[in-house]
Amino acid sequence: MTGVPASAAGGSSGAHGAPGSAATSGSQRDSQADPQSADLQNEEKPPRGAKIAAAAVNQASLWNVANLLTMLRLVLVPGFVALMLAGGGYDPAWRSLAWAAFAIAMITDLFDGHLARTYNLVTDFGKIADPIADKAIMGAALICLSALGDLPWWVTIVILARELGITLMRFVVIRYGVIPASRGGKLKTLTQGVAVGMYVLALTGWLATLRFWVMAVAVVLTVVTGLDYVRQAIVLRRQGIAERAAALEETEA
Protein backbone atom coordinates (compact mmCIF):
# COMPACT_ATOMS: atom_id res chain seq x y z
CA MET A 1 0.00 0.00 0.00
CA THR A 2 1.37 3.35 -0.99
CA GLY A 3 -1.01 5.65 1.04
CA VAL A 4 0.31 7.74 3.86
CA PRO A 5 -1.34 7.23 7.22
CA ALA A 6 -3.60 9.99 8.37
CA SER A 7 -1.66 10.31 11.60
CA ALA A 8 1.51 10.96 9.65
CA ALA A 9 -0.19 13.62 7.57
CA GLY A 10 -1.55 15.24 10.65
CA GLY A 11 1.84 15.11 12.24
CA SER A 12 3.33 16.85 9.22
CA SER A 13 0.80 19.68 9.37
CA GLY A 14 1.31 19.96 13.09
CA ALA A 15 5.03 20.27 12.51
CA HIS A 16 4.49 23.20 10.12
CA GLY A 17 2.16 24.96 12.60
CA ALA A 18 4.41 24.40 15.59
CA PRO A 19 6.56 27.55 15.30
CA GLY A 20 3.55 29.88 15.25
CA SER A 21 1.87 28.17 18.15
CA ALA A 22 5.13 28.05 20.02
CA ALA A 23 5.65 31.79 19.49
CA THR A 24 2.11 32.55 20.60
CA SER A 25 2.38 30.41 23.69
CA GLY A 26 5.80 31.90 24.40
CA SER A 27 4.48 35.45 24.24
CA GLN A 28 1.60 34.50 26.49
CA ARG A 29 4.03 32.96 28.99
CA ASP A 30 6.23 36.08 28.82
CA SER A 31 3.28 38.37 29.46
CA GLN A 32 2.12 36.19 32.32
CA ALA A 33 5.61 35.90 33.74
CA ASP A 34 6.30 39.64 33.53
CA PRO A 35 3.06 41.54 34.12
CA GLN A 36 5.00 44.76 34.81
CA SER A 37 6.28 44.91 31.24
CA ALA A 38 2.72 44.63 29.98
CA ASP A 39 1.67 47.41 32.31
CA LEU A 40 4.54 49.56 31.09
CA GLN A 41 3.48 48.99 27.51
CA ASN A 42 -0.03 50.07 28.39
CA GLU A 43 1.26 53.13 30.24
CA GLU A 44 3.41 54.20 27.31
CA LYS A 45 0.26 55.00 25.38
CA PRO A 46 -1.81 57.51 27.38
CA PRO A 47 -5.52 57.46 26.76
CA ARG A 48 -6.76 59.65 23.97
CA GLY A 49 -7.52 63.18 25.07
CA ALA A 50 -5.39 62.98 28.24
CA LYS A 51 -3.07 65.77 27.13
CA ILE A 52 -6.01 67.90 26.05
CA ALA A 53 -7.70 67.37 29.41
CA ALA A 54 -4.51 68.29 31.29
CA ALA A 55 -4.11 71.43 29.22
CA ALA A 56 -7.73 72.35 29.92
CA VAL A 57 -7.16 71.96 33.67
CA ASN A 58 -4.06 74.18 33.54
CA GLN A 59 -5.91 76.77 31.49
CA ALA A 60 -8.87 76.69 33.87
CA SER A 61 -6.57 77.27 36.86
CA LEU A 62 -5.97 80.80 35.59
CA TRP A 63 -9.59 81.70 36.36
CA ASN A 64 -9.47 81.10 40.10
CA VAL A 65 -10.91 83.42 42.74
CA ALA A 66 -7.59 85.05 43.62
CA ASN A 67 -6.79 85.90 40.00
CA LEU A 68 -10.32 87.19 39.40
CA LEU A 69 -9.90 89.61 42.31
CA THR A 70 -6.60 90.77 40.82
CA MET A 71 -8.27 91.26 37.43
CA LEU A 72 -11.02 93.25 39.13
CA ARG A 73 -8.43 95.62 40.58
CA LEU A 74 -6.86 96.11 37.17
CA VAL A 75 -10.27 96.93 35.68
CA LEU A 76 -11.01 99.36 38.51
CA VAL A 77 -7.96 101.51 37.71
CA PRO A 78 -9.36 103.27 34.60
CA GLY A 79 -12.78 103.42 36.23
CA PHE A 80 -11.30 105.08 39.30
CA VAL A 81 -9.47 107.67 37.18
CA ALA A 82 -12.65 108.47 35.24
CA LEU A 83 -14.65 108.94 38.44
CA MET A 84 -11.88 110.95 40.05
CA LEU A 85 -11.70 113.45 37.20
CA ALA A 86 -15.44 113.62 36.49
CA GLY A 87 -17.10 116.96 37.11
CA GLY A 88 -13.78 118.77 37.01
CA GLY A 89 -12.35 116.60 39.77
CA TYR A 90 -13.92 118.50 42.66
CA ASP A 91 -17.51 117.22 42.70
CA PRO A 92 -18.09 115.55 46.11
CA ALA A 93 -20.50 113.01 44.61
CA TRP A 94 -18.02 111.83 41.97
CA ARG A 95 -15.22 111.83 44.53
CA SER A 96 -17.32 109.59 46.77
CA LEU A 97 -17.80 107.11 43.93
CA ALA A 98 -14.07 107.26 43.21
CA TRP A 99 -13.40 106.52 46.88
CA ALA A 100 -15.71 103.48 46.68
CA ALA A 101 -13.75 102.13 43.70
CA PHE A 102 -10.46 102.76 45.52
CA ALA A 103 -11.75 101.07 48.68
CA ILE A 104 -12.87 97.98 46.74
CA ALA A 105 -9.43 97.76 45.14
CA MET A 106 -7.64 98.01 48.48
CA ILE A 107 -9.94 95.48 50.16
CA THR A 108 -9.53 92.92 47.38
CA ASP A 109 -5.77 93.39 47.72
CA LEU A 110 -6.06 92.06 51.26
CA PHE A 111 -7.80 88.88 50.15
CA ASP A 112 -6.37 87.74 46.82
CA GLY A 113 -2.88 86.96 48.11
CA HIS A 114 -4.26 85.24 51.21
CA LEU A 115 -6.62 83.10 49.15
CA ALA A 116 -3.87 82.16 46.70
CA ARG A 117 -1.53 80.98 49.46
CA THR A 118 -4.17 79.28 51.59
CA TYR A 119 -5.90 77.32 48.84
CA ASN A 120 -2.88 76.75 46.59
CA LEU A 121 -4.14 79.09 43.87
CA VAL A 122 -0.75 80.64 43.14
CA THR A 123 -0.17 81.08 39.39
CA ASP A 124 2.46 82.79 37.26
CA PHE A 125 -0.19 85.29 36.19
CA GLY A 126 -0.96 86.15 39.81
CA LYS A 127 2.71 86.61 40.70
CA ILE A 128 3.07 89.20 37.95
CA ALA A 129 -0.37 90.82 37.89
CA ASP A 130 -0.87 91.23 41.65
CA PRO A 131 1.98 93.70 42.28
CA ILE A 132 1.16 95.50 39.03
CA ALA A 133 -2.46 95.96 40.16
CA ASP A 134 -1.30 97.24 43.55
CA LYS A 135 1.06 99.81 42.08
CA ALA A 136 -1.42 100.82 39.36
CA ILE A 137 -4.31 101.75 41.66
CA MET A 138 -2.05 103.53 44.16
CA GLY A 139 -0.13 105.34 41.43
CA ALA A 140 -3.31 106.42 39.67
CA ALA A 141 -4.72 107.83 42.91
CA LEU A 142 -1.55 109.73 43.81
CA ILE A 143 -1.11 111.20 40.33
CA CYS A 144 -4.76 112.28 40.17
CA LEU A 145 -4.53 113.94 43.59
CA SER A 146 -1.36 115.81 42.66
CA ALA A 147 -2.76 116.82 39.27
CA LEU A 148 -5.82 118.27 41.02
CA GLY A 149 -3.63 120.14 43.50
CA ASP A 150 -4.83 118.19 46.54
CA LEU A 151 -1.46 116.55 47.24
CA PRO A 152 2.07 117.93 46.74
CA TRP A 153 3.92 116.36 43.83
CA TRP A 154 6.94 115.54 45.99
CA VAL A 155 4.79 113.18 48.09
CA THR A 156 3.66 111.34 44.97
CA ILE A 157 7.23 111.15 43.64
CA VAL A 158 8.64 109.81 46.93
CA ILE A 159 5.99 107.10 47.26
CA LEU A 160 6.08 105.98 43.63
CA ALA A 161 9.89 106.04 43.46
CA ARG A 162 10.07 103.86 46.55
CA GLU A 163 7.48 101.37 45.29
CA LEU A 164 8.99 101.02 41.83
CA GLY A 165 12.55 100.93 43.18
CA ILE A 166 11.81 98.16 45.67
CA THR A 167 9.98 96.15 43.02
CA LEU A 168 12.95 96.35 40.65
CA MET A 169 15.34 95.52 43.47
CA ARG A 170 13.38 92.37 44.28
CA PHE A 171 13.84 91.17 40.69
CA VAL A 172 17.57 91.93 40.83
CA VAL A 173 18.27 89.95 44.02
CA ILE A 174 15.79 87.13 43.36
CA ARG A 175 18.71 84.96 42.18
CA TYR A 176 20.01 85.04 45.75
CA GLY A 177 16.67 84.60 47.50
CA VAL A 178 13.36 86.26 48.29
CA ILE A 179 12.98 89.29 50.54
CA PRO A 180 10.03 88.48 52.82
CA ALA A 181 7.33 91.05 53.47
CA SER A 182 7.88 92.69 56.84
CA ARG A 183 5.36 93.95 59.37
CA GLY A 184 6.58 97.46 58.68
CA GLY A 185 5.86 97.00 54.99
CA LYS A 186 2.34 95.78 55.72
CA LEU A 187 1.76 98.72 58.08
CA LYS A 188 3.06 101.07 55.38
CA THR A 189 0.62 99.65 52.84
CA LEU A 190 -2.30 100.02 55.25
CA THR A 191 -1.34 103.57 56.20
CA GLN A 192 -0.90 104.57 52.56
CA GLY A 193 -4.32 103.17 51.69
CA VAL A 194 -6.02 105.01 54.54
CA ALA A 195 -4.23 108.29 53.81
CA VAL A 196 -4.87 108.24 50.07
CA GLY A 197 -8.48 107.22 50.66
CA MET A 198 -8.97 110.21 52.96
CA TYR A 199 -7.51 112.52 50.32
CA VAL A 200 -9.80 111.09 47.65
CA LEU A 201 -12.80 112.08 49.73
CA ALA A 202 -13.71 115.76 49.80
CA LEU A 203 -12.98 116.25 53.51
CA THR A 204 -12.99 119.57 55.35
CA GLY A 205 -12.34 120.86 58.86
CA TRP A 206 -10.57 118.65 61.37
CA LEU A 207 -10.82 115.62 59.05
CA ALA A 208 -8.72 117.49 56.49
CA THR A 209 -6.14 118.15 59.21
CA LEU A 210 -6.24 114.50 60.29
CA ARG A 211 -5.61 113.22 56.78
CA PHE A 212 -2.55 115.48 56.54
CA TRP A 213 -0.97 113.78 59.54
CA VAL A 214 -1.96 110.32 58.38
CA MET A 215 -0.24 111.02 55.06
CA ALA A 216 2.82 112.30 56.92
CA VAL A 217 3.03 109.01 58.81
CA ALA A 218 2.59 107.11 55.54
CA VAL A 219 5.48 109.01 53.92
CA VAL A 220 7.76 108.33 56.91
CA LEU A 221 6.90 104.61 56.85
CA THR A 222 7.43 104.57 53.10
CA VAL A 223 10.98 105.90 53.43
CA VAL A 224 11.94 103.87 56.51
CA THR A 225 10.66 100.55 55.18
CA GLY A 226 12.26 101.28 51.81
CA LEU A 227 15.66 101.71 53.45
CA ASP A 228 15.11 98.51 55.42
CA TYR A 229 14.38 96.59 52.20
CA VAL A 230 17.62 97.95 50.71
CA ARG A 231 19.52 96.72 53.77
CA GLN A 232 17.93 93.27 53.48
CA ALA A 233 18.76 93.13 49.78
CA ILE A 234 22.44 93.92 50.46
CA VAL A 235 22.65 91.25 53.18
CA LEU A 236 20.88 88.70 50.99
CA ARG A 237 23.21 89.39 48.07
CA ARG A 238 26.32 89.04 50.24
CA GLN A 239 25.07 85.76 51.68
CA GLY A 240 24.27 84.45 48.22
CA ILE A 241 27.71 85.35 46.87
CA ALA A 242 29.41 83.75 49.90
CA GLU A 243 27.39 80.54 49.52
CA ARG A 244 28.22 80.30 45.82
CA ALA A 245 31.91 80.86 46.50
CA ALA A 246 31.89 78.14 49.18
CA ALA A 247 30.12 75.71 46.86
CA LEU A 248 32.63 76.46 44.09
CA GLU A 249 35.55 75.75 46.43
CA GLU A 250 34.02 72.41 47.44
CA THR A 251 33.63 71.34 43.80
CA GLU A 252 37.21 72.32 42.97
CA ALA A 253 38.53 70.48 46.03
pLDDT tens track for 193-232: 999 999 999 899 999 999 999 999 999 999 999 999 999 9
89 DSSP 8-state letter: G
For residue 47, is pLDDT > 70?
A: no
Sequence length of the chain is 253
Measured CA to CA in angstroms, residue 118 lies from 87, 111, 113 at distances of 42, 10, 9
Confidence of residue 32 (pLDDT cuts 50, 70, 90): very low
For residue 54, is pLDDT > 70?
A: no
Confidence of residue 40 (pLDDT cuts 50, 70, 90): very low
The residue with greater pLDDT, 168 or 1, is 168
Select from 76, 102, 108 the least CA-distant residue to 194.
102
For residue 4, is pLDDT > 60?
A: no
Mean pLDDT of 133-143: 93
- Sequence ranges of the domains in the chain: 8-44, 65-249
Q: How far apart are alpha carbons 119 and 185 in whole angstroms?
A: 24
Lowest average pLDDT, out of 68-77, 179-188, 223-232, goes to 179-188
- The one-letter code for the residue type at 201 is L
Confidence of residue 125 (pLDDT cuts 50, 70, 90): confident
Helix (H, G, I), strand (E, B) or coil at 119: coil
- Mean pLDDT in the chain? 79
Is residue 78 within 8 Å of 103, Cβ to Cβ? no
CATH architecture of the region 65-249: Up-down Bundle (1.20)
Q: How far apart are alpha carbons 50 and 29 in whole angstroms?
A: 31
- The stretches of the chain forming alpha helices (DSSP H) are 6-33, 35-44, 50-61, 65-85, 92-118, 124-147, 153-173, 183-200, 206-252
Please name the residues in contact with 221: beta carbons below 8 A apart, sequence gap of 6 or more.
184, 187, 188, 191, 192
Is the whole-model pTM more than 0.95?
no
Q: What's the pLDDT tens digit per position in 108-124?
A: 888 877 787 787 878 88
- The one-letter code for the residue type at 190 is L
Select from 67, 133, 65, 129 the least CA-distant residue to 105.
133
202 DSSP 8-state letter: -
Is residue 104 within 8 Å of 129, Cβ to Cβ? no
Select from 66, 198, 41 the least CA-distant residue to 126.
66
* C-alpha triplet 234, 187, 143: angle, nearest 5°: 90
Q: How far apart are alpha carbons 87 and 31 in whole angstroms?
A: 82
